[in-house]
Amino acid sequence: MSVGGLPREEVGMMMGLGGVALGDPPADYGSIAAVGMFVALMCVCIIVGHLLEENRWMNESTTALLIGLGSGTVILLVSSGKNSRIMVFSEDLFFIYLLPPIIFNAGFQVKKKQFFRNFMTITLFAVVGTLISFSIISLGAMGIISKLNIGALELGDFLALGAIFSATDSVCTLQVLSQDETPFLYSLVFGEGVVNDATSVVLFNAIQNFDLANFSSFKFLQLVGSFLYLFGTSTFLGVATGLLSAYIIKKLYFGRHSTDREVSIMMLMAYLSYMLAELLDLSGILTVFFCGIVMSHYTWHNVTESSRVTTKHAFATLSFISETFLFLYVGMDALDIEKWKIVSETYSPMKSVALSSIIVALVLVARAAFVFPLSYLSNLTKKTPGEKISIRQQVIIWWAGLMRGAVSIALAYNKFAKSGHTQLPSNAIMITSTIIIVLFSTIVFGLLTKPLIRLLIPTRHITRELSALSEPASPKSFLEQLTAGGPDPENSVGIRRPTSLRMLLASPTRSVHYYWRKFDNAFMRPVFGGRGFVPFVPGSPTESSVPLLAPVNES
Amino acid sequence: MSVGGLPREEVGMMMGLGGVALGDPPADYGSIAAVGMFVALMCVCIIVGHLLEENRWMNESTTALLIGLGSGTVILLVSSGKNSRIMVFSEDLFFIYLLPPIIFNAGFQVKKKQFFRNFMTITLFAVVGTLISFSIISLGAMGIISKLNIGALELGDFLALGAIFSATDSVCTLQVLSQDETPFLYSLVFGEGVVNDATSVVLFNAIQNFDLANFSSFKFLQLVGSFLYLFGTSTFLGVATGLLSAYIIKKLYFGRHSTDREVSIMMLMAYLSYMLAELLDLSGILTVFFCGIVMSHYTWHNVTESSRVTTKHAFATLSFISETFLFLYVGMDALDIEKWKIVSETYSPMKSVALSSIIVALVLVARAAFVFPLSYLSNLTKKTPGEKISIRQQVIIWWAGLMRGAVSIALAYNKFAKSGHTQLPSNAIMITSTIIIVLFSTIVFGLLTKPLIRLLIPTRHITRELSALSEPASPKSFLEQLTAGGPDPENSVGIRRPTSLRMLLASPTRSVHYYWRKFDNAFMRPVFGGRGFVPFVPGSPTESSVPLLAPVNES
> Per-residue pLDDT tens for A182-221?
778 888 887 888 788 778 887 887 777 766 666 677 777 8
Contacts of B270 in chain A (CB under 8 A): none
Whether the CB-CB separation of B300 and B310 falls below 8 Å is answered with no
Contacts of B481 (CB under 8 A, 6+ apart): B180, B183, B463, B466, B469, B495
Is A320 within 8 Å of B11 when comparing Cβ atoms? no
Mean pLDDT of chain A: 73
Contacts of A143 (CB under 8 A, 6+ apart): none
CA dist., res. A525 & res. B531, Å (int)? 42
Distance of alpha carbon B409 from alpha carbon B300, whole angstroms: 34
Handedness of CA A74, A78, A79, A81 (dihedral sign): positive
What is the spatial distance between Cα B395 and Cα B165, in angstroms, rounded to a whole number?
19
Q: Is B512 on the interface with A (CB under 8 A)?
A: no
Residue by residue, DSSP assigns B246-298 as: HHHHHHH-GGGT-HHHHHHHHHHHHHHHHHHHHHTTS-HHHHHHHHHHHIIII
End-to-end CA distance of chain A: 51
Exposed, middle or buried by CB within 10 Å (0-12, 13-18, 19+), for A84?
Answer: middle
**Calpha distance A194→B314 (Å, rounded):** 26
To test the contact with chain A by mutation, choose from B22, B32, B474 the residue with the greatest count of A C-beta atoms within 10 A, namely B32
Q: What pLDDT score does B364 carry? A: 93
In chain A, count H helices and then E strands: 27, 0
Output the DSSP codes for B426-451: HHHHHHHHHHHHHHHIIIIIHHHHHH
Interchain pair A553, B479: CB under 8 A: yes
Q: How far apart, in whole angstroms, are the C-alpha atoms of residue B246 and residue B529?
A: 7
Determine contact: B54 vs chain A, CB below 8 A.
no
CB contact under 8 A, A16 and B12: yes
Min Cα distance B551 → chain A (Å) is 8
Whole-angstrom distance, CA of residue B123 vs CA of residue B501: 20
Q: Any residues with CB less than 8 A from the CB of B259 and at least 6 apart, and which?
A: A313, A316, A317, A471, A473, A474, B303, B304, B306, B307, B310
Q: Which of B11, B113, B547 sits opposite A555 (nearest CB)?
A: B113
DSSP character at residue B520: I
A positions 82-111 inside 8 Å of B (CB) = 92, 96-97, 108-111
Contact by Cβ (8 Å): B531, A554: yes
Dist. CA B6–CA B416, nearest whole Å: 11
Partner-chain residue, chosen from B261, B468, B517, that has the shortest CB–CB distance to A46: B261
User: Could you give the residue ranges of the DSSP H alpha helices within B303-348?
Assistant: 305-333, 337-346
Question: Greater confidence, A424 or B491?
Answer: A424
Helices B183-208 & B99-109, crossing angle to 10 degrees? 140
Kindly indicate the confidence band of residue A56, based on its pLDDT and cuts at 50, 70 and 90: low
Which spans in B347-499 are helix H? 349-380, 391-400, 406-416, 425-440, 446-456, 475-485
> Do residues B262 and B255 touch, judged by C-beta distance below 8 A?
yes
Q: Are A291 and A103 in contact (CB under 8 A)?
A: no
Task: Please list every residue in chain B whose beta carbon sits closer than 8 Å to the beta carbon of residue A309.
Answer: 306, 309-310, 313, 548
Average pLDDT over residues A467-474: 35
pLDDT at B446: 79
pLDDT of residue B43: 92
Q: Chain A, 144-183: which have a CB under 8 Å from a chain B CB?
A: none
Element containing residue A453 per DSSP (H, E) = helix A446-456
The nearest CA of chain A is from the CA of B256 a distance in Å of 8
Gap from A193 CA to chain B (nearest CA, Å): 20
Q: Are A309 and B310 in contact (CB under 8 A)?
A: yes
CB atoms near residue B85 (< 10 Å): 16
Using only the alpha carbons of chain A, give its radius of gyration: 24
Tell me the chain B residues in contact with residue A312 when contact means C-beta distances shorter than 8 Å.
306, 310, 552
Contact between residue B513 and residue B116 where contact means Cβ atoms under 8 Å apart: yes
Burial of A210 (0-12, 13-18, 19+ CB in 10 A): middle
Look up the pTM and report it.
0.78
Tell me if B476 and A553 make a contact (CB, 8 A cut-off).
Answer: yes
Task: Give the model's pLDDT for residue B107.
Answer: 84
CB contact under 8 A, A553 and B51: no
Residues of B in contact with A241 (CB under 8 A): none
Interchain contact, B248 vs A47, CB within 8 Å: yes
**Facing A96 at nearest CB: one of B4, B32, B43:** B32
| Facing residue for B321 by CB, picked from A110, A264, A470 | A264
Give the up-direction half-sphere exposure of residue B287: CA atoms within 13 A in the CB hemisphere.
28
Selecting from B96, B265, B310 the residue whose C-beta is nearest the C-beta of A310 gives B310
Q: Which of residues 439-468 of B touch A (CB under 8 A)?
A: 468
Q: Which of A8-12, A24-28, A101-105, B130-134 has the lowest mean pLDDT?
A: A8-12
Which residues 207-236 of A have a C-beta within 8 angstroms of B? Answer: none
Cβ pair B553:A479 closer than 8 A:
yes
Q: Is some CB atom of chain A closer than 8 A to the CB atom of B518?
A: no
Is the torsion defined by CA of B295, B296, B297, B300 positive or negative? positive
Most B CBs within 10 A among A17, A297, A533, A554, hence the mutation to make, goes to A554
Neighbours of B555 (CB within 10 A): 19
Q: Which residue of chain A has the CA closest to B263?
A: A317
Q: Do A5 and B28 touch (CB under 8 A)?
A: yes
CA distance B7 to A427: 32
Tell me the pLDDT of chain B (555 aa) as tens digits. 333 333 333 333 333 333 332 222 333 566 777 788 889 999 999 888 888 877 666 777 788 888 888 888 888 887 776 664 455 656 677 778 888 898 898 888 877 777 777 788 888 898 889 989 999 999 998 888 877 777 767 788 888 889 999 988 776 776 667 666 677 888 888 788 878 877 888 788 777 776 666 667 777 787 778 778 888 899 899 999 999 999 998 888 766 667 888 899 999 999 999 999 988 888 888 899 899 989 998 988 888 888 888 999 999 899 889 888 888 888 887 777 777 777 777 777 778 888 889 999 999 999 999 999 999 988 888 777 777 888 888 998 898 888 888 778 878 877 887 654 556 777 888 888 888 898 888 888 878 887 888 788 765 444 433 333 333 333 333 333 333 333 233 333 333 333 333 444 444 455 667 777 888 888 888 888 777 665 444 433 333 333 333 333 333
| Helix orientation angle between B475-485 and B305-333, rounded to the nearest 10 degrees | 100
Domain ranges of chain A: 91-312+359-463
Chain B closest CA to A345's CA: distance in Å?
32
d(CA B247, CA A324): 22
DSSP structural state of residue B23 = S
* Contacts B32 to A, Cβ<8 Å: 3, 96, 275, 278-279
Q: What is the pLDDT of residues A307-357, one digit of tens each?
A: 888 999 999 999 889 888 888 888 887 777 777 777 777 777 778 888 889
B506 - beta bridge partners?
none
Question: Does the distance separating the beta carbons of A39 and B28 come in below 8 Å?
Answer: no
CA distances from A393 to A397, A454, A483, A484, B129 (A): 6, 12, 20, 20, 71
Query: What is the C-alpha separation between B464 and A97, in angstroms, rounded?
Result: 44
**Which of B50, B269, B471 has its CB closest to that of A261?**
B50
What per-residue confidence (pLDDT) applies to B366?
93
Instruction: List Cα–Cα distances, B492 to B320, B480, B495, B525, in angstroms.
Output: 32, 11, 9, 21
Q: Chain B interface, mutation test: which of A258, A305, A323, A537, most B Cβ atoms within 10 Å?
A: A258
The letter for the amino acid at B44 is V
Residues 321-360 of B with CB under 8 A from A: 321, 324
Measured between beta carbons, which residues in chain A are less than 8 angstroms from residue B477? 547
Say which of A42, A308, A470 has its CB closest to residue B268: A42
**Contact assessment for residue A478 and residue A509, using Cβ atoms and an 8 Å cutoff:** no
* Of the candidate ranges A51-65, A125-139, A261-275, B102-116, the one whose mean pLDDT is the lowest: A51-65
Q: A279 and chain B: CB distance < 8 Å anywhere?
A: yes
- Which of A257, A317, A533 to probe the B interface (max B CBs under 10 A)? A317
For residue A169, give the 3-state DSSP assignment. Answer: coil
Write the CATH number of the domain with boundaries A91-312+359-463.
1.20.1530.20
Nearest-by-CA chain B residue for A268: B39
Considering only residues 237 to 276 of chain A, which have any Cβ-Cβ distance to chain B shorter than 8 Å? Answer: 248, 252, 254, 257-261, 263-265, 267-269, 271-272, 275-276
Lowest-pLDDT choice from A91-95, A405-409, B126-130: A91-95
Contact yes or no for B371/B394 (Cβ under 8 A): yes
Lowest mean pLDDT among A124-133, A496-505, B10-19: B10-19
User: Chain A within 8 Å of B412 (Cβ-Cβ)?
Assistant: no
Cβ contacts of residue A514 below 8 Å, gap of 6+?
Answer: none
Q: How far apart are CA A517 and CA A513, in angstroms?
A: 6
Q: What is the pLDDT of residue B9?
A: 31
Yes or no, beta carbons of B113 and A554 under 8 Å apart: yes
Quickly list DSSP for A228-277.
HHHHHHHHHHHHHHHHHHHHHHHHH-GGGT-HHHHHHHHHHHHHHHHHHH
Cβ distance B300 to A551 less than 8 Å, yes or no, reads: yes
Give mean pLDDT, residues A8-22.
31
* CA angle, residues B299, B301, B306, in degrees to nearest 5: 105
Helices (H), B118-182: 119-123, 130-144, 155-164, 170-176
Q: Rounded to the nearest 5 degrees, what angle is found at the Cα of B390, between the Cα atoms of B385 and B393?
A: 145
Report the alpha-carbon angle B407-B413-B419, nearest 5: 155
- Cα separation, B263 vs B284, whole angstroms: 21
CB proximity A486 to B under 8 Å: no
SS3 A108: helix
